[in-house]
Amino acid sequence: MATLERQPIALCDPDITQVELRAVVETLHQANLGAGTMVATFEERFAEYLGRGHAIAFASANLALLALGKALRLGPGCEVVLPALSWHQAGHAFSWLGASCVFADIEYWSGTLAPPKAQAVCTPRTRILMAGNTLGHPADWPALRELARQHDLFLLEDSTEALGSVLQGTMVGGFGDAALFDFSTPQAITMGDGAVLCTDDTTLAHALRQERHVPVTARRSVVASGVAPLQATMSELQGALGVAQLERLNTILARRAEVVAWYWDALQSFEGIKDPFCAPGVDVLHRPIYGVHLGARFTGSAVAQIVEDLRGAGIEAVLYPPAMHRQRLYLSAGEQVARLPKTDQIAPRLVVLPLHTHMIEEDVAFIVATLKDATVNIGAGAAIY
């Protein structure tokens, strides 16, 4: 008897329903497809969801950070402290402005910026302390806030990977002087691209809007003529998609959490990986991707081979982006790579597995079984931590 061929399992698959399709089609009938009422509605509702005073939408996260750097007058001679294990473009916008990115090591279990390591690299030139909620796990925000207060730093929260996570009763996005959310794939809310910066600082919000773009109604303004805006607006189509997905966000997050629970159950018998971690005080943890930390016995080439074996079985797995302190962009000629032992232990061995709402429990079981076989096939044996 012929057997049905297993369909490939995509790394991510946006949760798009008739709700989103109707919203986009209706928007296509508008006269204006640039930033307008739908973008404004998305900003208002996203700020309300987070409990922040303002949400300013941008075409991309890089443009949002570039606008923030300009608004804070970041430039040559300024430093930004941030974790090396993060979104691999997190420091690009600051480097475009001539500022220096200084990387600090991470907490081993959570993967987030370690406050003592950040403290050690702060200097009088440090202007921004940027931390992320890595793989959905909230950083130690009380300690980071105290560090920012001691050094008079702007605390920037990258909450892209943790939409919906809660620490000590506060939703992520509520801890920094500003918080960034990116909406590219594979986030729970995805528009293909786009981002928002959230803040309670009205003066900063006004400056960010000026740096983003000058609306038609203000183009003869004396104030507006003194700013060179980035023309970095989100489109109405993105705004409509965002509004529709935000209305369904609790359903989307709950379904993704169900897939994560299947992974947790399936991986309990797998001794070759580091268990997923949830620190005390973390009330809710939502993951944008499912990252598996392979042990120290696995070399970089072995991990790459494991990913290839998974892909050969129709599972779209990928390696987590390389640590930023090892990117050529941030290294001057002849400069030695910073010693960040925890980052260098985790980053080369972090495999990202499929996670999206269209997965079923059998998909997860197949992925984990294939992963186990792949680790045996390369001959590395069980991992050691």
The predicted pLDDT at position 98 comes to: 94
Task: Tell me the C-alpha distance between 312 and 235, whole Å.
Answer: 38
Q: Which of 301, 304, 384, 313 is nearest to 351 (CA)?
A: 304
The predicted pLDDT at position 90 comes to: 86
Q: What does the DSSP assignment read for 239-289?
A: HHHHHHHHHTHHHHHHHHHHHHHHHHHHHTT-TTEEPP---TTEEE---SS
The predicted pLDDT at position 185 comes to: 85
102, containing H or E segment: strand 100-104
State the CB neighbour count (10 A cutoff) for residue 151: 16
List the structure tokens of 326. Answer: 């090892």
Nearest-Å Rg of the Cα atoms of the chain is: 21
Written as one letter, the residue type at 172 is: V
The predicted pLDDT at position 316 comes to: 96
Backbone angles phi, psi at 128, to 5 degrees: -130, 135
Q: Which of 116, 179, 111, 110 is nearest to 144 (CA)?
A: 116
Task: Tell me the C-alpha distance between 307 and 314, whole Å.
Answer: 11
Strand partners, 83: 104
Task: Tell me the C-alpha distance between 133 and 128, whole Å.
Answer: 17
In order of 112, 117, 122, 138, 263, the CA distances from 284 in angstroms are 16, 26, 31, 9, 17
Could you give the domains of the chain?
Answer: 18-247 (3.40.640.10), 249-377 (3.90.1150.10)
Cβ–Cβ under 8 Å, residues 93 and 69: yes
Task: Tell me the C-alpha distance between 382 and 274, whole Å.
Answer: 11
Cβ–Cβ under 8 Å, residues 131 and 83: yes
pLDDT in tens, the chain (385 residues): 444 577 899 999 999 999 999 999 999 998 888 878 999 999 999 999 999 999 999 999 999 999 999 999 999 999 999 999 988 788 999 999 999 999 999 999 999 999 999 999 999 999 999 999 999 999 999 999 999 999 999 999 999 999 999 999 999 999 999 999 999 988 999 988 999 999 999 999 999 999 998 766 666 665 556 678 888 999 999 999 999 999 999 999 999 999 999 999 998 877 767 767 889 999 999 998 899 998 888 888 899 999 999 999 999 999 988 899 988 888 775 567 778 999 999 999 999 999 999 999 999 999 999 999 998 887 554 444 3
Task: Tell me the C-alpha distance between 341 and 109, whole Å.
Answer: 13
The predicted pLDDT at position 251 comes to: 96
The predicted pLDDT at position 174 comes to: 96
Q: What share of the chain is helix, strand, coil (3-state, %, to 5)?
A: 40, 15, 45
* Residue 85 region by backbone torsions, left for phi larger than 0, else alpha for psi between -120 and 50, else beta: beta
